[in-house]
Amino acid sequence: MTPKKDNLEIENPSRREFLKLGLAGTAGLLLSGQGKNLTPGPAPADDYGPLFASKPIEVVKVGFVGVGGMGSVHVQNFLNIEGVEIKAICDIVEEKVARAQKWVEEAGFPRPKGYSRGPWDFKRMCEEEDLDLVFTATPWEWHVPVCVAAMKNGKHAATEVPAAVTLEECWELVETAEKYKKHCVMMENCCYDRIELMSLNMVRRGLLGEILHAEAGYLHDLREVKFSSQGEGLWRRQHSWKRNGNLYPTHGLGPVAQCMNINRGDAFDYLVSMSSPSRGLQLYAREKFGPDSPQAKEKFALGDVNTSLIKTKLGKTIILIHDTNLPRPYSRIHLIQGTRGILQKWPDRIYIEGRSPQHQWEDIEKYAEEFEHPLWKKLSQKGEGRGHGGMDFIEDYRLVQCLRTGSPMDINVYDAAAWSVVSALSEKSVAKNSEPVKFPDFTRGRWKTTPPLGIIEG
């Protein structure tokens, strides 16, 4: 069972404009069962915005929703972070709840209460439990329902990526966070990987000059995962049946957005998007399961390679690629280009004018001693073996640290919405022969005065 989703195509992503177009009646019928209000609320109060900080919490009481693959990683990380108490575990599979409860007890903490009465039991958890934070690592379509239930019941929310699937969902997260004055954090672990952190440090210290262009993506052969009979195979392939766009933008986009001060001095303005033909999943299904198998008869809308071009308000550019259906080695590209130099991951290399040999790449490791990010220096050893090379632990540590110190989040609800909405906007552009599609301004103009994300010492 999954929550109902609207399939509205919105020409202009501003919901105010949506109403002006006279489509509110139809939308209201489609969304009436969701309790969603298409009329955007007022601008956030002065005490809520991109630098919103809640009161410090000495011990963060946490409830988890979804403790499969990534959810289990986060549970283990939280058990190794000071100032955390895991109070509740929710999952539709009772055995997974019991497994996580056992981990908590083995770590020397009281047994958390279990919730496994079906897919909506997280609502009961949010209503009954005394929690500071609800953390969801569920399939994509459940991220918003869980986060909204958490915030409406007085809890902060954190979600795996993407934070939302549709434009309407992105607005719902923003407006709920503003109304209830709660954090809604998207857990984009790639912002905490080593080279990405080092890149941000280099940018902040001016090594690359003014940043003008970036390239990013999620290039990962997921054919086996999508056709698996467990884990993400139970739901992820379904998004490829009818959706055609950049379905998983945030891993690549998040780190370069931070380097380019998106929502903190600049903002996404519009995008154009195009997709290649769809071949990879069909070919894989025929060869693995046979030409007469049910899998081989499935139809897929998702183009194998989607390329989106993003223009920012200050005129800067980003190339963003989604490529998960074809044979290839893993990459997120991660290229940052400025007036004084350029760096890239996959392969790791850098060129700085006046410092590098003329017209020759250098190994980025030559710059590590000078530009290693202090957060990585402090936490990388603690994060070894704790998910994706340590970046999962660092992102979890930062979430807890911000809650305990009463600090603004590194990735706030406006970032979660702006990075995630690329999926919906790219689908719209692809369907309209790559027409430009405007980004909504989730900050309502506050990006102009919000300072850039600084270098966190940890």
Q: Do domains 60-186 and 190-375+411-448 have the same CATH topology?
A: no
Q: How far is CA 125 from the centre of its chain?
A: 24
What's the confidence (pLDDT) of residue 388? 77
Bridge partners (DSSP) listed for residue 62: 86, 133
What digits encode the pLDDT tens for the residues 253-277?
A: 999 999 999 999 999 999 999 999 9
**What integer is the mean pLDDT of 65-79?**
97
Cα angle for residues 307, 325, 418 (degrees, 5° grid): 45
Structure-model confidence comparison of residues 16 and 137, the more confident one: 137
Domain 190-375+411-448 has CATH 3.30.360.10: yes
DSSP E strand boundaries for 370-428: none
Distances in whole angstroms, Cα of residue 166 to Cα of each of 99, 318, 420, 444 = 33, 21, 8, 19
Helix (H, G, I), strand (E, B) or coil at 59: coil
Helix (H, G, I), strand (E, B) or coil at 141: helix
What's the confidence (pLDDT) of residue 40? 56
Give CA–CA dist 330/328, Å, rounded.
6
Q: How far is CA 68 from the centre of its chain?
A: 18
Burial 309-320 (b: 16+ CB within 10 A, else e): bbbbbeebebbb
What's the confidence (pLDDT) of residue 34? 33
What's the confidence (pLDDT) of residue 458? 72
Bridge partners (DSSP) listed for residue 262: 266
What's the confidence (pLDDT) of residue 12? 37
Q: What is the pTM of this model?
A: 0.91
Q: What is the mean pLDDT of the chain?
A: 91
What's the confidence (pLDDT) of residue 21? 29
What's the confidence (pLDDT) of residue 2? 40
**What integer is the mean pLDDT of 98-122?**
98
What's the confidence (pLDDT) of residue 47? 81
What's the confidence (pLDDT) of residue 387? 62
Domain 60-186 has CATH 3.40.50.720: yes
Half-sphere exposure of 431 (CA within 13 A, CB side): 16
Residue 197 CB partners (closer than 8 Å, separation 6+):
191, 373, 375, 376
Give CA–CA dist 72/386, Å, rounded.
10
pLDDT at 331 over 70: yes
Domain range list for the chain: 60-186, 190-375+411-448
pLDDT at 14 over 80: no
What digits encode the pLDDT tens for the residues 196-253?
A: 999 999 999 999 999 999 999 999 999 999 999 999 999 999 999 999 999 999 999 9
Alpha helices in 56-136 (DSSP H): 69-78, 94-106, 121-128
pLDDT at 427 over 90: yes
What's the confidence (pLDDT) of residue 384? 72
Q: Which helix (H) or strand (E) holds 418?
A: helix 413-420
- Distance between terminal CA atoms of the chain? 41
Distances in whole angstroms, Cα of residue 321 to Cα of each of 111, 152, 153, 335, 376 = 43, 35, 37, 12, 27
Give CA–CA dist 136/66, Å, rounded.
6
What's the confidence (pLDDT) of residue 54? 97
What's the confidence (pLDDT) of residue 124? 98
